[in-house]
Structure 1
Amino acid sequence: MNMIDKTFDVHERALAYRGQRMEILSKNIANADTPNFKAQDLDFRQLLQGAQDNNLQLTKPGHTNLTPENSRSALKYRVPYNTSFDGNTVELPVEQAKYGQYAADYQTTLSILESRITGIRKALRGE
């Protein structure tokens, strides 16, 4: 694995997952008033376990099989704290709070990537 892969690989995958999770939460928020809509989220532990189980089958050490496409099996329905009469399991304040947290995590990952890119640019310029 070369230096560029080591620098960006983990953060690239983190951005993909955080983006996918924000997309799922956005869908939940958009359907907060839809009767019988079931809120969903990703089960990160299941994603991680699946990646560890598949790690032995991969060709390069350190690589995992974590891709947004593989995360569909980790998509779970969320159990609500409070039940709704119309069968909808979206709890808007919970979804909004989670979305805010994941948006902050996404921004943090972008900032880390930006600082790494800046470091590489400085190294290439000899600064």
Structure 2
Amino acid sequence: MSIFSGTIQNLENGLQYSTTKQKTIAQNIANVDTPNYKAKDVTFEQFFQRAKQASLPAYRTNDRHFDFKMRDYSPGVFNYANIRYRQNGNGVDMDKEQANLATNQIYYNALIDRVNGKLNSLQTVIKGG
């Protein structure tokens, strides 16, 4: 029996996703005046689809049982190919990027609070109180 039953690893995957999204948003903001730059994004849907496709074969007692899933997730970054917000071909919408930045920061802080809660619970159990 695992102490956290995969919770810490799932939180770590969420933090990895949030970090990749933060880097992508920062790159978009940095290139807001670059001609012909196309905005990039990271979506959970693509992240989840890749995770669903990565499975390990396992002995199943029933055909309805799921295969074991691999835990090596790496969120993918994609370009918005056909979007232009300026005459120079730039595809960055600064208002959208700032809203995404704030949303991602809240998500990241929530994950960090959850990890701290899990580790504090473990510390309390170890100390016996």
Aligned-residue offset at 1:31: 0.8
Alignment partner of 1:94 out of 93, 96, 119: 96
- Partner of 2:54, secondary structure, is helix
CA displacement at 1:57 relative to structure 2: 5.2
C-alpha RMSD of the superposition: 2.2
Identity of aligned residues (%): 24
Aligned-residue offset at 1:65 = 3.0
Contact residue 52 and residue 64 of structure 1 kept, 8 A: no
What residue number does 1:50 align with?
A: 50
Q: TM-score, normalised by structure 1?
A: 0.83
Q: How far did 1:24 drift? A: 0.4
Larger proportion of helix:
1
Query: Which blocks of at least 5 consecutive residues in structure 2 are unaligned?
Result: 59-66
Partner of 1:26: 26
1:65 is matched by which residue type in structure 2? D
User: Mapping of 1:1-127 within 5 angstroms?
Assistant: 2-4=2-4, 6-56=6-56, 61=68, 63-67=70-74, 71=75, 74-78=76-80, 80=83, 83-127=85-129
Moved over 4 A (4+): none
**Partner of 2:56: helix, strand, or coil?**
helix
Mark the CA change 1:10 to 1:26 in structure 2 (over 3 Å): closer, same or farther.
same
Relative to structure 1, is the Cα distance of residues 47 and 30 closer, same or farther in structure 2, using a 3 angstrom cutoff? Answer: same
Q: Counterpart of 2:48 in structure 1: which amino acid?
A: L
TM-score w.r.t. length of structure 2: 0.82
Unaligned runs of 5+ in 1: none
Displacement of 1:4: 4.3
SS of 2:78 mapped into structure 1? strand
